[in-house]
Every structure is written in C-alpha cells, then in structure tokens.
Amino acid sequence: MFKKNNFIEHSIQGVLSFLKDSIFSEEVALKKGLLQSLDPRIKVLTFLVLLLQVLWLKDVRILMVFYGFCLALSCLSGVRLWFFLKRTWIFIPLFSLFVAIPAIFSFFTPGDAYATFHVGGIKFVITSQGLAVALLFVGRVLTCVSFAVLLSLTTRHFELLKVLRIFKVPQIFVMTLGMCYRYIYLFVEIIEHTYLAIKSRVGVSVHTQKGQRIVAWNIANLWTRSYQLNEDIYRAMLSRGFTGEPFVLNEFKIKTKDWLWVSWVVMVTFLFIFLNAHIKI
C-alpha cells in the first residue's frame, strides 16, 4: 500500500494541519470586520434568509449579483479573496461531476441542440436548456456554499453553538455538536502526539508495515480512550453541579449596526422577490 514511509508522514501531517487550519483556527472570526461585528443571532437569521433566497432564485443573472454580494461581504470582513475562493470552489467539481455535467446532455435535459459530438459511435447532444440548468445549479451551490462558509469563518464556533441553543435547537443536539468539535480537536492532538511519540522512540524511519500497524492500533485505541474521556468529563460536569440542563450565558447585545444590517437584508429580499417574479427568463 504505502510505498514510502514519508507518505504516511506527509499524509498524516497534511491532514492534521488541514483539519487544524480549517476547523480550529478562528483567525478570521477574531478579526475586526463587518460581519464579525454583528450580533451572532442576527447574523445567523439573516444568513438563513439569504440562503433561502438563493435556493429560490430562478435567474442566473440575479444569482451572480448575489454571489458578487457575498464576495463583497467577505472582503469587508477581512477575508482574503483568494483564500475564500479556494475554500468555496473546492466543492464545485464534486457537484458538477455528479449533477451538473450529466444535466447538460439531451438524455437528461431535452431541448435545442447547442453542440453535438460523437464518442465511440454514440451521439452526444448538449442542449442549451441543459446548459442553463447546469449553470443555475452550479451557481446555486457555489453561492450557498459561499454564504455558509462565510458565516462559519466570521463567527466563533462557540457563538454558533450558543445561537443554536438560543433558537431552541434541542439541547442534546447542540451538546453533541460541541462535544464533536472538542473530540475532533482531541483526536487530532492525540494522533499528532502519538505520532511524535513514535517518531521520538523509533526514529523517523518506522518500518512501513510496523508503521501501519501502529497507526491502525491507535485508531482503534482512540475509541476506547474517547469513551473513557467521555465518562471522566461527565464526572467533572457532575462535580460542578450539572444536573442535565446546562445554563448558557447569553451575553449577546443587539446594536444599531445590527438593525441597519437587518433592514438592508430585508430590502434586498423584497427587491429580489419582486425581480424574481417579474423577470422572464
């Protein structure tokens, strides 16, 4: 399987640092920018409204306006454009491969031929209706993903969890999410430390097969460890008076700026509802 020891090393460390960077660095959320300064409750609600609109939009041009709006917001919030594009476009090939590309052909979307070619004696027809559908689809996915990524980038994770609690999402769900987050971090740490421990004891050149065994054993062991951890954490919570329903601190405050933002989003919403109803494709 693994030809080189380095492969394990690189892949482990690559995955770990990617995870740490993408999930745990709250670098952007800690910056001072437009979206960071909004009340998280307001932010989550308005983003939901925006996302719903994107799902309802039927016109690619309006969709593009939305996408541009999203990019503008990300710039105003101190997100580097290139970083943001990388983050969001990463999802596109996956979707286009399975949904958008098949949709452009006449098998799936019958209509006027836009281009025709033959592969191995089979005639492929790309229809202009198919293209429009695919374009709209990709545009929607891209815009939705961008808004979602922007929200999670500019909001600290614990704030998102708290908002869920305030919006009466069931406790067990929010707690599980929070624990997952913590566990992933701990897992990453454990793997990283175990890896370093192996390296410090055995040296860099772990024999490939042995290396694989150690990695496999550790993955299995992780579950046992996490079970023990779970129990211990539960005890620690009991010790501090936990009885099943934790009380959350609600320190969020809605400021004038938040109301400005809300009225802005409401205006945009009505404008687009109007446009969506009156524009003929």
Partner 1 sequence: MNNSIFELTDVSFSYLNKFPALCAINAHVKPGEKIAIIGANGCGKSTLLHLLDGLIFPDKGSLKVFGRELTEDAFDDEKFSREFRKKVGLVFQNPDIQLFCPTVKEDIVFGPLQLGIDFKDIEKRLEELINVLGIKDLLQRSPHQLSLGEKRKVALASTLIMDPEVLLLDEPTAGLDPLTTRHIIDLLLSAHAKGKTIITSTHDLHIVEEISDTVFVFSHEKKIVKSGSSAEILKDDQLLRDHNLIHVHSHHHKGAVHVHSHQHLDHHH
CA distance 50 to 66: 9
Nearer to partner 1, 137 or 185 (CB): 185
User: Among 97, 223, 232, 273, which residue sits at the site for partner 1 (rule: CB under 8 A)?
Assistant: 232
- What track of x and - describes contact with partner 1 for positions 39 through 78 (by CB under 8 A)? ----------------------------------------
Would you count residue 182 as binding partner 1 (CB under 8 A)?
Answer: yes
Nearer to partner 1, 56 or 227 (CB): 227
Sign of CA dihedral 24, 27, 28, 32: positive
Altogether, the residues listed in the chain come to a count of 281
Would you count residue 178 as binding partner 1 (CB under 8 A)?
Answer: yes
User: Among 7, 89, 173, 242, which residue sits at the site for partner 1 (rule: CB under 8 A)?
Assistant: 242
CA distance 236 to 72: 45
Residue at token pair 């689809």: 137
Cβ at position 158, least distance to partner 1 in Å: 3
Sign of CA dihedral 116, 142, 176, 13: positive
CA distance 47 to 268: 12
Cβ at position 101, least distance to partner 1 in Å: 41
Cβ at position 61, least distance to partner 1 in Å: 41
The piece of 107-115, 157-165, 203-211, 264-272 that touches partner 1 (CB under 8 A) is 157-165
Would you count residue 185 as binding partner 1 (CB under 8 A)?
Answer: yes
Nearer to partner 1, 112 or 232 (CB): 232
User: Among 158, 167, 223, 259, which residue sits at the site for partner 1 (rule: CB under 8 A)?
Assistant: 158
User: Among 180, 236, 266, 271, which residue sits at the site for partner 1 (rule: CB under 8 A)?
Assistant: 236
The piece of 55-63, 105-113, 183-191, 260-268 that touches partner 1 (CB under 8 A) is 183-191
Q: Which long-range contacts (CB under 8 A, 24 or more apart) does 31-36 make?
A: 31/77, 31/78, 32/78, 33/76, 33/77, 33/78, 33/79, 33/154, 34/73, 34/76, 34/77, 35/73, 35/76, 35/77, 35/150, 35/151, 35/154, 35/155, 36/77, 36/78, 36/154, 36/155
The piece of 59-67, 71-79, 226-234, 266-274 that touches partner 1 (CB under 8 A) is 226-234
Residue at token pair 């539960």: 234
Report which DSSP code applies to 125. Answer: E
CA distance 241 to 237: 7
Residues that bind partner 1 (CB under 8 A): 24, 156-158, 161, 178, 181-182, 185-186, 189, 229, 232-233, 235-243, 246-247, 249
